[in-house]
Structure 1
């Protein structure tokens, strides 16, 4: 996985954690949900890239 894409996906997860924490602090359910969604989006993208890289290494 390229360093740039990994950083982007990690940043998405971190942003999600901050949004979720902020949402919990202020009691905003929508912000909590958005934060959780960003975390899942970042983790899924990283997993997809890792799988793609693993398949590339096999061939």
Structure 2
């Protein structure tokens, strides 16, 4: 859909819900994602999932 290579996206509320879905989509489109959430463990899980797919 979009080519976001070289772009950085900061997603708040990224551990769950819409924020999580947005972070995953942005990473699939090539953006490096900074996932921020009060639920630190959830944000870490998301980061692991994004990294596991070969994205940043």
> Greater share of strand residues, 1 or 2?
2
Which has the higher Rg, Structure 1 or Structure 2?
Answer: 1
> Greater share of helix residues, 1 or 2?
1
So what's the TM-score if we normalise by structure 2? 0.35
